Amino acid sequence: MRRLFPVTDQTTTAPKGGAPGQGEGRQGDAGQGDAGGTGEWSLDALADAYAYPEDMGGTGGTGGAGDIGGTGGTRGAGGRAWLRANMVSTLDGAAHHGGRSQPLSHPADMRIFGTLRALADAVVVGAETVRQEQYRPTRARSGFAARRAAAGQAPVAAVAVVSAGLDLDFSQPLFTAPLVPTLVLTGAAAPADRIAAAERAGARVVIAGTGAGVEPARVVATLADLGYRRLLTEGGPRLLGQFVAAGVLDELCLTLAPLLTAGGAERIAGGPEVRVPARFELVSLLEEAGYVFGRYRRP
């Protein structure tokens, strides 16, 4: 992997060793592997490259107080949250192929994917993406244990599923066997029987809207109130579109795959067009095997 931007005196390869390996599909929570002289960046190098803003006080996922340093962020009573998205797109704008993002991925993409999960307090994802991508609980990785402990975080990121109707299979391991409870974010008017089913399975139901569904800004603020302030959304496109429209997305990590698919696949963000396009600034640009990994931040 090489750094294209910002340009430094080390733009070809980073220190080798200890990078996360490839998982099963893009959402497959990549495990650890050995770089073995392949030029892959180390765990620490990737984690430093994708670190959240500094000065984040409190304890991730347990309601600790504190602020996120830097600009942007959405404030809840428990502190300021930072919402980043991680998405993949083909050269012609497709966010998936055959309904899944896995065909667009690459081992380098999976290493970054696993790192972003390992840095987050919570992974926010839409119900349709959970169904299509067959989401599983996040897994603890020893390579990130010390970093998470030093930041006051739980051993793994919680998965937070956004759903209005709660049409989810609560017998799946995502709900019955996570290391930390899975969150289900819904509205106050969600079906009571489905809320009860989620709670029986061990999920924590969080109300983040006055109607049947959630309100995007309230999702971020409510998670911040609960202590989940380093937020990562993996989509899908409709959920990301809601965050964009609400103006609460702070950062976009975008993998540009050197692929063309044609067809009618969604873009990375869907829904109604925003009145004024939101401008983001380039923070960093990495490349490996023709895949380009951009990191963009709200000014």
Taking only the tens place, the pLDDT of each residue in 59-113 is: 455 433 334 444 466 655 556 899 999 999 999 999 988 878 888 889 999 999 9
pLDDT at 20 over 90: no
pLDDT at 131 over 90: yes
Instruction: Give the mean pLDDT of 25-53.
Output: 67
Instruction: Please name the amino acid found at residue 194.
Output: R
Per-residue pLDDT band for 31 (boundaries 50, 70, 90) equals: very low
pLDDT at 57 over 70: no
Across-strand partners of 287?
Answer: 2, 292
Tens-place pLDDT, residues 258-299: 999 998 899 999 988 899 999 999 999 999 999 999 999 999
pLDDT given for residue 225 in this prediction: 96
72 token code pair: 């942007």
Q: 116 to each of 52, 54, 86, 163, how far by Cα in Å?
A: 10, 16, 8, 23
User: Which distant-in-sequence residues (6+ apart) come within 8 Å of 250 by Cβ?
Assistant: 72, 73, 74, 82, 83, 84, 297, 298
Indicate the range of 31-40, 104-113, 244-253 predicted with least confidence.
Answer: 31-40
176 token code pair: 């019955």
Higher pLDDT, 218 or 67: 218
Spatial CA neighbour of 53 closest among 69, 67, 64? 69
User: Which distant-in-sequence residues (6+ apart) come within 8 Å of 117 by Cβ?
Assistant: 29, 123, 138, 157, 232
User: Which distant-in-sequence residues (6+ apart) come within 8 Å of 40 by Cβ?
Assistant: 1, 16, 19, 108, 111
Output phi, psi for 297, to 5 deg. Answer: -130, 145
pLDDT given for residue 80 in this prediction: 85
pLDDT given for residue 187 in this prediction: 97
Per-chain mean pLDDT for the chain: 85
How far apart are the C-alpha atoms of 193 and 210, rounded to whole Å? 18
pLDDT at 252 over 70: yes
